[in-house]
Amino acid sequence: MRHIVNEGETIAKIAYMYGIRPFDLLLFNRHLDSESAYVKPGTKLHITNSISQSDPFDWDGKAEFSQVDLENILPLMKSMGVGVEIIGYSVMRKPIYALTVGRGEKEIFYSGGWHANEWHTSKFLTLFIHQLALKDQMDEEWEEYRIQKLLDHVKLVVVPLVNPDGVDLVLQGIYKEHPFYDQILQMNKGMTGFDHWSSNIRGVDLNHQWAAGWEIEAEESPQQPWSRHYSGTKPLTEPEAKAIYRLTKEHCFNYVLAFHSQGQVIYWGYRGLEPAESNEMVRRLSLKSSYTPIHTADSDGGYKDWFIKETGKPGFTIEVGVGTNPLSPKAFAEVWSNNCLLALEGLCLWDR
Ligand SMILES: [Zn+2]
């Protein structure tokens, strides 16, 4: 059998799809020199002894997660009553999806995949909303949370993958046909590895794009497009950040949780502008996850910062996992078990 590599695919993902080991792919495709080699779109691979996997959910963490995986799950999500909406497009014109469950008046917003090397957060949020829809449909409890009743009060909006171009770059590297080939190599000083990349495809950090002390953060950060931390020439120059801005403006979120991956901590303040109830809320999130609450990271320009400043409502940055980004695919199991309760408790924070 032959497989032609799609955008956002890796050796681990292709092996998982066919139910074989990454090592088997190397055996029959001698042009691949290691399990972590990049495989560019259009590459032809020989597949042998495959047992096709019908389960799109890789709970054990055998493979990475990107836009193509999210899009594969969308038809299933729709069939379960999950709302699927395109809220904008990335620089490379990939759709940015918002998924919605629940019927209630309390609107809550979860987002992930802001940084290119933090795809665990995208996978977590996608699988979380799928489980939520399933429990709602079956009227089942989940960890003693009565989901159907909860979703009568709550509408949860989730954007699992804010930065699809960036995630694909981290997973697949750069190749001649890539429309940003020259710019990316220049920004990356000629290096061809992208594990450290967290920006979008134009070298702008999407969590540095927000009008909350933006000037302060911009001054202390790189002054030109870069793999990380470049704030752009002004707030909201990037289409991915604009899409989140519009979505936030169109809704009336009671509070927001933005998921990132590094440190197992929860940031909950912004220059003292956060409301008093944020303190009690973060205590509850921390109890459910054992992540440490930290008032502020002494930084500006983030989405959570802007949300707090703009609305006066609570905003949280959840840092899942610990180690070096990108965390290994195997780390997903721990991310899942540490964050399910936190994300469930996040649906009830309005209820004191
Ligand atoms: Zn991040």
Gap from CA of 26 to ligand 1 centroid (Å): 32
pLDDT for 161 equals 98
Gap from CA of 115 to ligand 1 centroid (Å): 5
pLDDT for 56 equals 66
CA-nearest of 10, 319, 323, 325 to 197 is 325
Q: Are 313 and 307 in contact (CB under 8 A)?
A: yes
Given a cut of 80, whether residue 76 has pLDDT beyond it is: yes
Confidence at 48, pLDDT banded by 50, 70, 90:
confident
CA-nearest of 283, 253, 288, 249 to 268 is 283
Tokens of 303: 């989405």
Q: Please give the average per-residue pLDDT across 214-242, as a whole number.
A: 97
Gap from CA of 35 to ligand 1 centroid (Å): 25
Query: What mean pLDDT value characterizes the chain?
Result: 94
Given a cut of 60, whether residue 118 has pLDDT beyond it is: yes
CA-nearest of 342, 336, 341 to 61 is 336
Gap from CA of 99 to ligand 1 centroid (Å): 21
> Among all chains, which residue has been given the structure tokens 């993902």?
13
**Residue 158: strand pairing partners:** 99, 110
Confidence at 178, pLDDT banded by 50, 70, 90:
very high
Given a cut of 70, whether residue 54 has pLDDT beyond it is: no
pLDDT for 134 equals 92
**H or E stretch including 345?**
helix 332-345
- Every domain of the chain with CATH number 3.10.350 lies at 2-46
> Could you report the per-residue pLDDT of 337-350, keeping only the tens digit for each?
999 999 999 999 99
Gap from CA of 183 to ligand 1 centroid (Å): 22
pLDDT for 352 equals 82
Q: Are 101 and 132 in contact (CB under 8 A)?
A: yes
Q: Are 208 and 301 in contact (CB under 8 A)?
A: yes
Q: Please give the average per-residue pLDDT across 57-67, as a whole number.
A: 87
pLDDT for 53 equals 61
Q: What is the DSSP letter of 102?
A: -
Q: SS3 of 282, please?
A: helix
Q: 51: alpha, beta or left, given left = phi > 0 and alpha = psi -120 to 50?
A: beta
Given a cut of 90, whether residue 41 has pLDDT beyond it is: yes
Given a cut of 80, whether residue 52 has pLDDT beyond it is: no
Given a cut of 80, whether residue 177 has pLDDT beyond it is: yes
Higher-confidence residue of 176 and 55: namely 176
Q: SS3 of 105, please?
A: coil
Contacts of 193 (CB under 8 A, 6+ apart): 173
pLDDT for 159 equals 98
Distance CA 73, CA 86 (A): 15
Confidence at 40, pLDDT banded by 50, 70, 90:
very high
Q: Please give the average per-residue pLDDT across 188-201, as a whole number.
A: 95
Q: Are 119 and 127 in contact (CB under 8 A)?
A: no
Given a cut of 70, whether residue 246 has pLDDT beyond it is: yes
Q: Please give the average per-residue pLDDT across 65-85, as a whole number.
A: 94
Gap from CA of 118 to ligand 1 centroid (Å): 6
Given a cut of 90, whether residue 172 has pLDDT beyond it is: yes
**DSSP H helices in 139-238:** 147-153, 164-172, 181-187, 214-220
Gap from CA of 117 to ligand 1 centroid (Å): 8
- Every domain of the chain with CATH number 3.40.630.10 lies at 57-352
CATH architecture of 57-352: 3-Layer(aba) Sandwich (3.40)
Gap from CA of 7 to ligand 1 centroid (Å): 22
Distance CA 195, CA 130 (A): 28
What protein residues have CB closer than 5 angstroms to ion ligand 1? Answer: 115, 118, 260
Tokens of 352: 């004191």
Distance CA 326, CA 335 (A): 13
pLDDT for 28 equals 82
Lowest pLDDT segment from 66-70, 131-135, 249-253, 295-299: 295-299
Q: Counting Cβ atoms within 10 Å, is residue 223 exposed (0-12), middle (13-18) or buried (19+)?
A: exposed
pLDDT for 57 equals 79
**Residue 155: strand pairing partners:** 107
> Could you report the per-residue pLDDT of 261-273, keeping only the tens digit for each?
988 999 999 999 9
Gap from CA of 186 to ligand 1 centroid (Å): 23
For the domain spanning 2-46, the CATH number is 3.10.350
Distance CA 71, CA 231 (A): 29
Q: What is the DSSP letter of 328?
A: P
Tokens of 350: 């309005």
Gap from CA of 75 to ligand 1 centroid (Å): 28
Q: Are 166 and 172 in contact (CB under 8 A)?
A: no
Confidence at 205, pLDDT banded by 50, 70, 90:
very high
Q: Please give the average per-residue pLDDT across 234-246, as a whole number.
A: 98
Given a cut of 70, whether residue 84 has pLDDT beyond it is: yes
Residues taking part in catalysis: 319
Confidence at 277, pLDDT banded by 50, 70, 90:
very high
Q: 203: alpha, beta or left, given left = phi > 0 and alpha = psi -120 to 50?
A: left
Q: SS3 of 115, please?
A: coil
pLDDT for 179 equals 96
* Through-space distance between the first and last CA atoms of the chain, rounded to whole angstroms: 57
